[in-house]
Chains A and B, each alone.
Chain A
Amino acid sequence: MTLARKWCLPALFFALGLSASAAAFAQTIDLNRIFSIGRDAVTAVAGVSDEEELAMGREIAGRMLGAAPLVNDAALQSYVNRVGRWVAMQSERPGLPWRFAVIDTASINAFAAPGGYVLVTRGLYDILDNEAQLAGVLAHEIGHIVRRHHVTVMQKSAALSAGAQLAQRDNRSALVNNMIGTGAEVFARGLDKTAEYEADAIGVVLTARAGYNPFALIDVLHKLAARGAADGSLALLFKTHPLPGERLEQLGEALTPHLARLPAGRNLEIRRVAAGAGPMRAAQPLPAEGARGLAAQPQQPQPQQQPKGGSGIDPSQLLRGLFGR
């Protein structure tokens, strides 16, 4: 374990491309108290286990649903899960507990949280022409999750603020919260814009593997580019994320050399949201859950309000949007 600890820290910083001074600072940090390191090579490099990734993702998704609930159309939600799971099965992580949903907001966006949570807004869903476009949107999000883009960014920011985490090292849940919370800073700075382009390229391939028209995601990007910055439903997307036109440029360059080997695929008719469907309500109140489950000791009930400027989870900047980083 000691070896793993010694090896992992510089490896982590090398992988993240941080400065030498930052690495030197971090050498005083016992990362093994922050992450469960050394379970296997992949976990050691990633620094976060699947279990931890799932717990963080669940917390983030749960908060997102607290802001924008599910659309109250059970048949639609089941449909989206079947389409999404089928696409996810074509990825390197088919066994994650994948969850897909359409959330009740007119905003146009889609989000992925670690561990297999993919949320598409109703605003985006309603402008899709066919099932292949839905698959393309989901495949882009699946790409983020498969490549653990969010986890990498969270690790980076957590390492940067590891000094603060040391103060909380006896409370694993707080550490995880802090890691997620500080990740927001990195998202705000937008350090890994290329992750979006990578997810686009992965999305095209997963869509093709699932038997759909691989160019459907490109059609969606064209739709967004055509709607323009004046569209209020795109405000959040355009404020924090690469413009669709830039993504089309990048995707075009990535795709062009491989055009001939992409199959035509199918479009298929998309299931529409049931007329009059509003937000879904829970049948009864349930106890809160999420990242608190990581804690070694009993935790207090879910706080009713996030401490301002504290280590709370910030889903707005953690969820990796279809058009976000």
Chain B
Amino acid sequence: MPFLVRKSSGWLAAIALLSAFAGGAFAEPVTLERDSAVLAEPRAGAGVIGNLSKGATGDAVARQGAWVQVKAGAITGWLYSFNVRFGAVSPGAGEGSGAGSVLGRVFAPRQRVNVTATIGIRGLEEEDLKQARFDAGQMQQLDGFAATREQAEARAATAGLAAVQVDYLGQPAAAGSSEPVPGSSQ
């Protein structure tokens, strides 16, 4: 029994680690946004182990940076995350959050709350916001929560964050351009 418990704990730990690695939701359905090569590793230039066509579906089992590990039929490999959309069916109104999908199951309770609350969030609709009045009391509260540079630096250090030198990417490509992305087989 102690052995079984220990083994079970190990499994749970492994699942927890993999879940954390995946960045949250587990085995989410994905749909290919474009024809894509399936790579052996999560990096540009990795070996191609298969190809998936636009509209193909699979399950995302892990994420790493810009990469998603997808299991689609007999193939399991890495896809550039921009090449997929999460959700079990083709793009359309709301299917991705349908109750039948994993995402739907994950988000269903929260979504119901949101839908119900839509009536209550009319304050954020354009017309209602026009009626909103300046709330000085709220602004005073807001000011009270402001962080100084020193507080922000101290908190970042505690969290193990260090500033990194990264240049801006430059301007996004113009709409309509179709530069190939890693793993794209088009």
By a beta-carbon cutoff of 8 Å, the part of chain A in contact with chain B is: 58-59, 61-70, 74, 77-78, 80-86, 89-90, 94, 97-101, 105-109, 121, 123, 126-127, 129-131, 194, 197-198, 200-202, 204-205, 208-215, 218-219, 222-223, 225-233, 235-236, 240, 245, 248-268, 280-290, 302, 304-306, 312, 314-317
Given contact pairs A68-B123, A230-B93, A253 touches B172 in the complex (Cβ within 8 A)? yes
In contact, B156 and A86 (Cβ under 8 angstroms): yes
In contact, B165 and A62 (Cβ under 8 angstroms): no
The bracket for how many chain B residues form the interface is 35 or more
A101 CB to closest chain B CB, in angstroms? 6
In contact, B93 and A228 (Cβ under 8 angstroms): yes
In contact, A262 and B146 (Cβ under 8 angstroms): no
Q: Mark B68-86, 1 if CB is under 8 A from A, else 0.
A: 0000000000001110011
Given contact pairs A212-B161, A223-B86, A302 touches B133 in the complex (Cβ within 8 A)? yes
* Segment 88-147 of B: residues with Cβ below 8 Å from A: 91-97, 103, 107, 110-111, 113-115, 117-118, 120-121, 123-143, 145-147
Q: Mark B155-183, 1 if CB is under 8 A from A, else 0.
A: 11001111111111111110101010110
The answer to whether the Cβ of B151 comes within 8 Å of any Cβ in the partner chain is yes
Query: Which residues on B sit within 8 Å (CB–CB) of A121?
Result: 124
Query: Which residues on B sit within 8 Å (CB–CB) of A288?
Result: 134, 136
In contact, A230 and B94 (Cβ under 8 angstroms): yes
A115 CB to closest chain B CB, in angstroms? 12
Given contact pairs A129-B24, A256-B181, A287 touches B163 in the complex (Cβ within 8 A)? no
Could you say which of A208, A255, A267 contacts B23, with CB atoms under 8 Å apart? Answer: A267
In contact, B129 and A64 (Cβ under 8 angstroms): yes
Known pairs A229-B94, A254-B171 / 4 extra A-B pairs, C-beta < 8 Å: A80-B145, A226-B96, A233-B121, A263-B164
In contact, B85 and A226 (Cβ under 8 angstroms): yes
In contact, B124 and A204 (Cβ under 8 angstroms): no
A102 CB to closest chain B CB, in angstroms? 10
For the complex, give the distance between the alpha carbons of A68 and B122 in Å. 10
4 nearest CB pairs, A to B:
A282-B137, A230-B94, A316-B129, A252-B82
For the complex, give the distance between the alpha carbons of A258 and B117 in Å. 41
Could you say which of A77, A252, A286 contacts B145, with CB atoms under 8 Å apart? Answer: A77
In contact, B129 and A97 (Cβ under 8 angstroms): no
A150 CB to closest chain B CB, in angstroms? 15
The answer to whether the Cβ of B152 comes within 8 Å of any Cβ in the partner chain is yes
Could you say which of A201, A214, A285 contacts B172, with CB atoms under 8 Å apart? Answer: A201
Given contact pairs A204-B169, A253-B179, A282-B135, A225 touches B86 in the complex (Cβ within 8 A)? yes
The answer to whether the Cβ of B87 comes within 8 Å of any Cβ in the partner chain is yes
In contact, B135 and A62 (Cβ under 8 angstroms): yes
Could you say which of A205, A218, A230 contacts B81, with CB atoms under 8 Å apart? Answer: A218
In contact, A200 and B172 (Cβ under 8 angstroms): yes
In contact, A106 and B126 (Cβ under 8 angstroms): no
23 contacting pairs across A/B (C-beta < 8 A): A62-B139, A66-B134, A70-B138, A80-B145, A83-B152, A98-B147, A105-B117, A211-B160, A211-B162, A219-B24, A222-B86, A225-B86, A228-B95, A232-B117, A235-B125, A236-B126, A253-B172, A253-B179, A256-B181, A259-B44, A286-B139, A314-B129, A316-B125
Query: Which residues on A sit within 8 Å (CB–CB) of B117?
Result: 105-107, 123, 232-233
